[in-house]
Amino acid sequence: MTRHTTVIAQGTFDLLHPGHVHYLREAAAMGEELCVIVARKSNVDHKDAPICAAEQRRDVVAALEMVDEAILGHEEDIFVPIENREPDVIVLGHDQHHDTAAIEAELARRGVDCEVVRASGREPKYDDELLSTRLIIDRVLERRG
């Protein structure tokens, strides 16, 4: 595995769960500094809107030991924080909807020279471990709804 200096991970991080922790640990291991971009509600159009406010999600992510900095994404242009930080690598979650080739093309168009890689997924470690915000919400509704 190539070791980089600046790594960016990004996501919604609503209702933080062990899958998020796995993703961020793997991203952090790829470099010296991990910056996490937390999506704003206005940029989450591929799934249900987040339950928690963007600032709350950012603050919870920032509290994780492996995260050096957590910032909110740009309201209109998701590439602005990437351009501002000039990372060596962007690590996408294993199940994120992003098209790696399209991201690479847009970065090249903007003159950002960095690698785009996918993190690995992981299986639950025990029978009722939930590695998805959707599954957590479903469980809450099932038990408390």
Contact (Cβ atoms closer than 8 angstroms) between residue 114 and residue 141:
no
Cα(7)–Cα(27) distance, integer angstroms: 7
Residue 102 DSSP SS3: helix
**Residue 22 assigned ligand-binding role:** no
**Residue 19 assigned ligand-binding role:** yes
| Buried/exposed code over 76-100 (b: 16+ C-beta within 10 A; e: otherwise) | eebeebbeebebbbbbbbeebebee
**Residue 98 assigned ligand-binding role:** no
**Residue 100 assigned ligand-binding role:** no
Q: Which residue has the tokens 């999600």?
A: 57
**Residue 18 assigned ligand-binding role:** yes
* Annotated binding-site residue numbers for ATP: 12-13, 17-20, 95
Residues that constitute the known binding site: 12-13, 17-20, 95
